[in-house]
Structure 1
Amino acid sequence: MTRYRVIMESVASTPTLLFHVAFADDWEACSRFGEYSVATRGVPFDGVGAIYVCEYADIHSVLKSRYSDVSEPLLLVSISTAALVSEGIDFTLSPAPRILEELPMTDGVVAATFPIGEGHEFPSETETAALG
């Protein structure tokens, strides 16, 4: 497993943004403490020691496989890999993207949050990049 705590220019294949699907209620509850501590649906960070994230191309499959039965409001959280590196937050892309620490809910690290629609609609990659 490769951990990234390096200068971004030396990791050319690292995506600019990673994405996490969050329950809006979980996101709001964690915001009171300034750190997001949910790994994935129903699993706290302490349960697995990582926050599950994905690249943009994988968002639809994550929604379909993990959230297809959900009616509660969801958020798509875009996370800046450059900010993770600059803040010294460990993350990995292999074998699957994971953030290896609780996520600081700062403006730099969290590039943007987007509501996910009832039909699992979410912004295009261009829209997320423009706002992130």
Structure 2
Amino acid sequence: MTKILHVAIVDDWEASRPFGEYEVSTRAVPFVDAGFVHATTVDRLPEVLGRVYGSLQLPLVLIVLDVEELQAAGIEVVLEPEPRVLAPLPTAGPAVVTELPLERDGSGAWQSPQTLP
């Protein structure tokens, strides 16, 4: 299983659930404007959290995605140079491995989870 990660604002992710699709590319950028959903890898997550979300005070959730399950659902995924999902994300089903709330450390920086499923 190849996993990629997407950082979402909790309110955006929860608001998408009734529709079955999450249509946000990244912070303040809708899918319709970008044409894809930004994703990242485990090793790049700290950089994304700091650079893109460092100043954000809203709660975040880390969405762990299974690339093969996305592709099985007919959703194209590009892995290089940065992971991108070329369709809105499903909010449930086998492609969504797990959702992990993100927290800040003592200095106020977003923390990467210690382990991922």
For the criterion TM > 0.5, the same-fold answer is yes
**1:128 and 2:116 are equivalent in the alignment:** yes
Residue deviations 1:36-76, cap 9 Å, x none? 10000000000010000011111000001001111110001
Which segment drifts farther, 51-60 or 101-110? 101-110
Paired letter, 1:85: Q
Residue 32 of structure 2 is aligned to residue 42 of structure 1: no
- Percent identity reads 35
Q: 1:9-20 maps to which residues of 2 (within 5 A)? A: 16-20=2-6
Distance, in Å, in 2 between the alignment partners of 1:102 and 1:41 is 15
Which structure: larger Rg? Answer: 1
RMSD: 1.2
Partner of residue 62 from structure 1, selected from 36, 44, 48: 48
Q: Does 1:32 pair with 2:18?
A: yes
How far the C-alpha of 1:92 sits from its partner, in A, is 0.2
Contact 1:17/1:78 (<8 A) preserved: yes
Determine if the alignment matches structure 1 residue 75 to structure 2 residue 61: yes
By how many angstroms is 1:94 displaced? 1.8
Residues 96-115 of structure 1 mapped to structure 2, 5 A cutoff = 96-115=82-101
Pick aligned residue for 1:94 from 80, 88, 107: 80
Measured in 2, the distance between the counterparts of 1:123 and 1:52 equals 19
Deviation of residue 118 (structure 1)? 2.3
Question: What is the DSSP-based 3-state SS (H/G/I as helix, E as strand, rest coil) of the residue aligned with 2:19?
Answer: coil
For the Cα contact (< 8 Å) 1:114–1:122, is it kept in 2? no
The 3-state SS of whatever aligns with 2:116 is: helix
Gaps of 5+ in 2: none
TM-score (norm 2): 0.91
Paired with 1:71 and 1:116, the residues of 2 have a C-alpha distance of: 12
1:19 aligned counterpart, secondary structure: strand
Mapped to 2, the partners of 1:36 and 1:88 lie a distance apart of 16
State TM-score, norm by structure 1: 0.81
Unpaired runs of 5+ residues, structure 1, are 1-14
